[in-house]
Amino acid sequence: MKLFRGRWILLSIALYSSLAFVYSELDGSFHYDKQVYGVTRQNSTMERTWAGSLATYFTSNFAFEINYTHSQNVTTEHENIPVSGTTAVVDSTQNRVINIVYGAGIRWLMTSRQSRIRPHISMGYATQEVESATDYTFRDTDSGTTYPTLTTPVEKQRIKSVFGAFALQVGITQYFAIKGSIQTVFEAFKTEKARDNLKYMVGLTWIF
C-alpha cells in the first residue's frame, strides 16, 4: 500500500509539473499621451504609463498572471486667475497624479501558442495606490513679482479594484512577440467605470 501511495504521489507531481509550467510570458508595455489646449496653447496635459506582467500557463490556454502598472499624469495651466481682494493672480497651476496598480488574475489565450497572431484576455483583482498634489504660482500684477510656489499636501488613496485587458501578440521569433493592448482598471463592483480609464499600450513579450 505504501509503495502504491508513493507511486501515486510521484505520478501526481509529474502530471502537475507538466501542466503547471507549460511556459511563461514576460511582458513590458508603454503608453504616452500629450494634449495642448487653450486660446494660446498655454495649457497642457501629459500622461506617461509603463506596465509589466508575468503569466505562467498551467494549461495550454490558461495562465496565472501578476502585473504592475505605473502611471503619471501632469496637468499644467496658465490662466491668470484673480485672487479676490488683492492685486495678485494665480499665474499657473500644476496638478500631478501618480497611480500605481498591482494586479493578480487569470489570462486566457484565445488561440494556439503556435499561431503567429495570438489574442488573449486578462482579468482579476487589483489594488490602486493614488497620490496627488498641486502647485500654485502667484504673481503680483502691479509689480510683476512672482511669489514662491505653494504646494498642497500630498493626498493618498488606496482603492480595491478590478483590472481587465485585451491584447494581441504578433510573433516575430519563437521567443519574442510585439504586443498591443487595451487595458482598464476600475473600483471593484463599479463596472460602469471600466470605460472611463482605458489605456492603449504597445510593447514586447518574451516567451520562455
Instruction: Cite the DSSP H helix spans in the chain.
Output: 2-20
pLDDT of residue 21: 55
pLDDT per residue over 111-148, tens digit each?
A: 998 999 999 999 999 999 999 999 999 998 888 888 88
Q: How many CB atoms lie within 10 A of CB 169?
A: 25
Burial class for 16, CB neighbours closer than 10 Å (0-12, 13-18, 19+): exposed
Cα separation, 127 vs 63, whole angstroms: 20
| SS3 call for 2 | helix
- Note the pLDDT tens digit of each residue in 168-192: 999 999 999 999 999 999 999 898 8
What type of residue sits at position 128? Q
pLDDT of residue 145: 84
Amino acid, single-letter form, for residue 35: Q
Query: What mean pLDDT is predicted for residues 50-70?
Result: 96
Q: Give the mean model confidence (pLDDT) for residues 66-81.
A: 94
Per-residue confidence (pLDDT) for residue 4, from 0 to 100: 47
User: What mean pLDDT, rounded, does the chain reach?
Assistant: 90
- pLDDT on residue 9: 56
Per-residue pLDDT, 201: 97
pLDDT of residue 200: 96
Q: Give the per-residue pLDDT at 30.
A: 97
Residue 22: what pLDDT? Answer: 80
pTM comes to 0.82
